[in-house]
Amino acid sequence: MRWITLFAGCMFMLSLSTGVAAQKKKDSDIKKALSELDSLRNCYLKKLKDLDSRISAIEKARKEEKEKAEMEALLNAASDLSRTKKKEEATISRVFRGGQRQLQALNPNISMTGDFFGSVSSGKSDVIVNDGDFTDGRNMFYMREAEFHIIAPLDPFTRGKFFLGIPGVGEYPLSFMIGEAYMEWLNLPANMNLKIGLFNTQFGILNRWHDHGLPQVDRPRVLTNLFSKNNFAGIGVGANFLLPRLWAHVNELDIEIVTGGDGVSFDDANDNVIFVTHLKNYYDLSRDAYIEIGFSGANGYNDKKAGYRTTLVGLDITYKWAPVDRAHYRTVEFRNEFFYSHRNRKDGAIDRFGFYSYISNKLGRRFWIGIRAGYSELPTVVNKEYEWDITPYVDFWQSEFVMMRFQYSYTYRSYEENDHTFFIQTVWSMGPHKHEAY
């Protein structure tokens, strides 16, 4: 019985060990299968990645080939067009040997400006009424001038300007006056523009401005005393240089040589050569404001036969504030000019001084208000006579083509009676001309 029990135990242990061994083998086979499956997965992913790379390379090559084909097609089309155009030009050149310019582009801009005012003055003396700023223009309506403006490019390198004035004095036949007539060469070497002809000289600032473009009805007394009622102009040549940036943000130099003077500071003889120069310095103070400072000089004969000369020196300062986002509604302009005159005479030199200063404030899109003050010593009188004035004014811009102005002036004179004068002025413009910002 013991042997049977022992044999049964041995058989149980043998079957148990056999089951364990079988289970171990099964686990090993599972692990091996999982390993092989993982290897197959990695191999598949690698092949898939290689396949994606090959597809991307093929697509890129096809895209480059397509772009190359399109570029070749464009080049061929351009080449065909060029050959066709050359053929057409050759045909045209054979038929029209002289060629033609685009005449429409060469048509000049033609405009007309009218300057009308009426005045009432308390002055009664001939010095004020007949020999003052406006001959026959006091205590009456006065058509100061109708001015024609003709401006056109002559070719890509030059342009011409012609200003013809018709004084509105009611005379017949009508008298014509050439205000300015000159030609300019543009963009020459050394950043130079060159002009020849009859022009207002670049002495100071307002001397360049025509009457209809002045900031007040009349010119400041110091300019009237130095150059009479008209601008200081002459026939000659002038060069404008845009200098390299020196001490200011922009530096400009004007050098002019003219003959003929104004008849006051300079002899109006045709052979009187006058030298004029002006240096302008521009500074940006901020996004909304700038300042300009200029220096002027002029030298010529006041008596050509006797050989006496006059030297003029000027300083101009302009400050302007115009907010970028509201420039149509708010602007402030503050301008000043100072002048010194040294006049040689037989009985000794005469040194005189004068200035004017004005400030204008834009209150909205249409209204400006301003005030001007000035002082002037008479440059041709031996005894030191002088005058000063104060002038408030209001401007109403109905549009950019029509302006109306109301002005009051009080003038004190050391040599004559004082006077009060009221002005009402209208300036209108027909055509593309706008007053130039010199």
pLDDT (mean) for 129-135: 56
For the stretch 240-260, pLDDT in tens is 999 988 888 999 999 999 998
Pick the CATH number of 108-430 from 1.10.10.410, 1.10.357.10, 3.30.110.30, 2.40.160.10: 2.40.160.10
Q: Is the pLDDT of residue 221 over 80?
A: yes
Task: Evaluate whether 343 touches 352 at the Cβ level (below 8 Å).
Answer: yes
Alpha-carbon gap, residue 375 to 360, rounded angstroms: 19
**CA–CA distance from 91 to each of 86, 100, 342 (Å)?**
8, 15, 69
For the stretch 336-345, pLDDT in tens is 999 999 999 9
Most confident of 48-62, 103-117, 187-201: 187-201
Q: Is the pLDDT of residue 92 over 50?
A: no
Q: Is the pLDDT of residue 97 over 50?
A: no
Please, which pLDDT band fits residue 14 given cuts at 50, 70 and 90? Answer: low
Alpha-carbon gap, residue 267 to 209, rounded angstroms: 22
Alpha-carbon gap, residue 271 to 231, rounded angstroms: 19
Task: Evaluate whether 358 touches 345 at the Cβ level (below 8 Å).
Answer: no
Helix (H, G, I), strand (E, B) or coil at 178: strand
Task: Evaluate whether 166 touches 145 at the Cβ level (below 8 Å).
Answer: yes
Q: Which residues contact 37 (CB under 8 A, 6 or more apart)?
A: none
pLDDT (mean) for 181-207: 94
Alpha-carbon gap, residue 294 to 296, rounded angstroms: 7
Say if residue 316 is exposed, middle or buried (CB neighbours under 10 Å; 0-12, 13-18, 19+).
buried
CA–centroid distance for 95 within its chain? 44
For the stretch 32-72, pLDDT in tens is 878 888 888 888 788 888 888 888 888 888 888 888 888 88
Quote the pLDDT of residue 102. Answer: 55
Which is more confidently placed, 9 or 435?
A: 9
- The per-residue DSSP string of 123-172 comes to --SHHHHTTSSSTT-SSEEEEEEEEEEEEEEEETTEEEEEEEEEEES--S
